[in-house]
Amino acid sequence: KAKQAGRNTLCFFDPDLQASVARRMSLEADMRAGLRKNQFFAVYQPQVNHEQQVFAVEALIRWNHPARGIVSPGEFIPVAESSGLILALGQWMLREACRQLVEWQRVPELAHLTVAVNVSARQFHHPDFVEQVLLALDETGADPKKLKLELTESLLLDDVEAVIGRMTALKAHGVSFSLDDFGTGYSSLAYLKKLPLDQLKIDQSFVREVVSAANDAAITHAIIGMAKSLGLSVIAEGVEEEAQRAYLAKQGCHAFQGYLFGRPVRAEELREVFATFFTD
């Protein structure tokens, strides 16, 4: 295997590697075609507050591949990142979420919703990123105050001043920011405090066993405390059981997202999710 042969050795005849390169290339070509043919769509997952009211939704991308069926973003986002296709995909998602926001304005029980959109590192660091977000807002007529962008810690490792500049420019328009998968990255506390963030999102890996594993409980406790002292809101992702919700709530976390409250669904189905919430 190339790996065992060492970093400086090229191995042209590794059948596994060849297969994975081929797969990657066909995925890339399929993605390009998929964008043209409208095979991508968004699903939305509720985020609830301490009173279990839905105050926001996270937009998550899905791909309806003609041969493979629904492909999950874990499979194609990394390929989109490395090929640069993420720029087109990310822009599509931003517009889609903004368009949806405007549509929800006409539905009384959905009009208050904020939508959270995931932004990948390459997308964020593109020189036109700020303009592209403003363009999506402008062209759809969406309210920037209802748009939240989810960034990951890895994205912040680069030029901190540039990151702050971009965030500040968008915040001036009312856009807010959440730090996704928090706790899994490498952000130092020193610059966490410099970033104009609004929310920390506790990664689901800490939530999974928060009730039974003392070290996970210690981490969530620390994150919640840190968020509070930095003046940020905090949300836990991957909440599947009432016991997890109750435990985190006791620690002071007041916003939650996870299968306990609803799976990601198409916009058309979101009204039904709300209906079940309000009749419970």
SS3 state of residue 78: helix
Does the footprint of ligand C2E cover residue 209 (CB under 6 A)? no
| CA geometry: angle 209, 247, 243, nearest 5 deg | 70
Provide the minimum distance between the beta carbon of 269 and ligand C2E in the complex, in angstroms, as a whole number: 14
Bridge partners (DSSP) listed for residue 117: 59, 149
User: Count residues contacting ligand C2E (CB under 6 A)?
Assistant: 23
**From residue 113 to residue 152, what is the string marking binding to ligand C2E with x (rule CB under 6 A)?**
-----xxx-----------------------------x--
Q: Which of residues 231-250 bind Mg ion (CB under 5 A)?
A: 237
Among 46, 181, 206, 224, binds ligand C2E (CB under 6 A): 181
Does the footprint of ligand C2E cover residue 77 (CB under 6 A)? yes
Residue with Cβ nearer ligand C2E (150 or 153) = 150
List CB contacts of 21: < 8 A, sequence separation 6 or more: none
Asked whether the beta carbons of 57 and 267 are under 8 A apart, the reply is no
The number of beta carbons lying within 10 Å of the beta carbon of residue 245 is 22
In this structure, what token pair is assigned to residue 57?
């939704």
Phi, psi of 117 (to 5 degrees): -120, 130
List the one residue out of 170, 176, 179 whose CA is nearest residue 152: 179
Does the footprint of ligand C2E cover residue 69 (CB under 6 A)? no
Phi, psi of 226 (to 5 degrees): -65, -45
Alpha helical stretches, state H, 157-266: 160-171, 189-192, 204-207, 214-230, 242-251
Does the footprint of Mg ion cover residue 96 (CB under 5 A)? no
Among 96, 153, 181, 216, binds Mg ion (CB under 5 A): 181
Residue with Cβ nearer Mg ion (30 or 90) = 90
Among 46, 144, 183, 258, binds ligand C2E (CB under 6 A): 258
Pick the piece of the chain touching Mg ion (CB under 5 A) from 11-19, 21-29, 113-121, 157-165.
113-121
Residue with Cβ nearer Mg ion (60 or 211) = 60
Asked whether the beta carbons of 156 and 189 are under 8 A apart, the reply is no
Q: Contact positions toward ligand C2E, by CB under 6 A?
A: 45, 60-61, 72-74, 77, 90, 93, 118-120, 150, 180-181, 204, 237-240, 258-259, 264
